[in-house]
Amino acid sequence: MPTKLSLRDFSIAITLVVLCGIFATLSPQFLGARNLSLLLTELSITATLALGMMLIILTGNIDLSVGSGVGLLGGVASVLVFQHDWPAPVALGTALVAGLLIWLIMGAIIVRERVPSFIITLGGLLVFKGLFWLVIQNSTVPVVQGGQTNLYSLLTTYYLPPAWGFLLAGLLVIALVISSLRARRARLSYGFAVESGPALYVRLLVTAQFIFLITLVTSQFRGIPLPALILGVVACAVYILTTHTPFGRYLYAIGGNEEAAAVSGIPVKAVLIGSFGIMGVIVAITGFMQTAYSGASTSTVGDLMELDAIAACVIGGVALKGGRGSVMGVIFGALLMAVLLNGMTLLAVSPEFKFIARGLVLSLAVWMDVKMAR
């Protein structure tokens, strides 16, 4: 049986069109190839972190420490590479493992000691921020020295050549069509609700046009930025995890009703700890990209990124109580946040008004989530 579309399905798209129209009118360079390429990089960083946050929120938990973790793990890798002369792959791998272990420990404390995730991660926010400042010694650690690039700096300076970009876009569209059709047939075979044929056609057509439009625009500058490719890999991994694995189904079940999930035999504790471990890996990846994009590891890297990630999730339809959310929704929520911040930067909006705008967007998103849940 086909599913009906609601206002929620169009609200983000309408808001994005309005925002882009306003910023393009007030600042014509907003639609320039260079700015849109930078916007794609900013989106990739925010959306990558938001996808990890989605895994936590799906279970009904929250993680307030990710912003400080972004700064800490990016700073650890920077210090190892540029102050202790470690090979970049080894340093990045070390920081990645550190992120996994730290978040596994936090998850274990939350689950086994029955401490609210809000409290533990709030403590982590403060602890990680302090450790971050100690690691970089309250100084600036550049990610480029002597004008030479390395694996770390390439994270935000490498662009996929246009020809390869169009080839990748074509393969992505083909894979999207095949996976969508297979998923629809599978749901029909089990008698589940599916979107109508015309709606599926329109969605795939619009998505394909959007993918090729992004590729065309970025090809006018330097090509597809590496962070966009990283986001694509993370998004595919999270999508497969949440929709095609028992672990993903367990996340939704725990968020829907943890007691019922435990009674039905779901290993609730292991799943919750595992979700925090995945979050740690994603925090490390985001830390590398954000630090490289900033050009240096400074004491402000990662500030308030946890709020942007939470806002992107809620705007994208992830329920704060858990049990509901999708990868595509989170990406569009992150896009709205990235467009808002990028546009305000082009208009030279003062930092205080940026804070006000971000706070209002987050508050409005939470209010809408509560309103829609009633």
Of 129-138, 176-185, 308-317, the least confident: 176-185
DSSP 348: T
Judged by average pLDDT, the poorest of 6-15, 76-85, 123-132, 176-185 is: 6-15
Return d(Cα 201, Cα 206) in angstroms, integer: 9
Predicted confidence band of residue 146 (pLDDT cuts 50, 70, 90): low
Average pLDDT over every residue of 20-34:
90
Cα distance between residue 225 and residue 39, in whole Å: 10
Closest CA to 91 of 339, 341, 304, 291: 291
* Closest to 69 (Cα-Cα) out of 371, 321, 276, 372: 276
User: What is 137-182 written as a DSSP string?
Assistant: TTS-EES-BTTB--HHHHTTT-EE-HHHHHHHHHHHHHHHHHHHHH
Share of the chain above pLDDT 90, in %: 60
Q: Give the C-alpha separation, 77 to 92, whole Å.
A: 5
> What tokens appear for 338 in the block?
């990235």
Query: Measured between alpha carbons, how far is 266 from 44 in angstroms, rounded to an integer?
Result: 33
Q: What is the pLDDT of residue 2?
A: 43
| Domains of the chain by start residue, with CATH | 34-156+251-373 (1.10.3470)
Whether the per-residue pLDDT at 318 is higher than 80: the answer is: yes
pLDDT attached to residue 372: 64
Signed CA dihedral, 218, 221, 223, 229: sign only = negative
Residue 210 — pLDDT band, cuts 50, 70, 90?
Answer: confident
Strand residues in 36-140 grouped as ranges (E): none
CA distances from 121 to 55, 66, 269 (A): 15, 8, 17
- Look-up of token digits 């990558």: 48
- At 13, the pLDDT band (50, 70, 90 cuts) reads confident
271-293 tens-digit pLDDT = 999 999 999 999 999 999 999 99
Q: Tell me the CA end-to-end span of the chain in Å, nearest whole number.
A: 25
pLDDT at 121 over 60: yes
Question: Is residue 371's pLDDT more than 80?
Answer: no
* Comparison of pLDDT for 370 and 209, the residue scoring more: 209
Band (3; pLDDT cuts 50, 70, 90): very low
* Residue 177 CB burial class (10 angstroms; 0-12, 13-18, ≥19): middle
Query: Residues 96-117: what's their mean pLDDT?
Result: 95
Residue with the larger pLDDT of the pair 313 and 210: 313
| Minimum mean pLDDT range among 48-57, 64-73, 240-249 | 240-249
Q: What is the pLDDT of residue 8?
A: 56
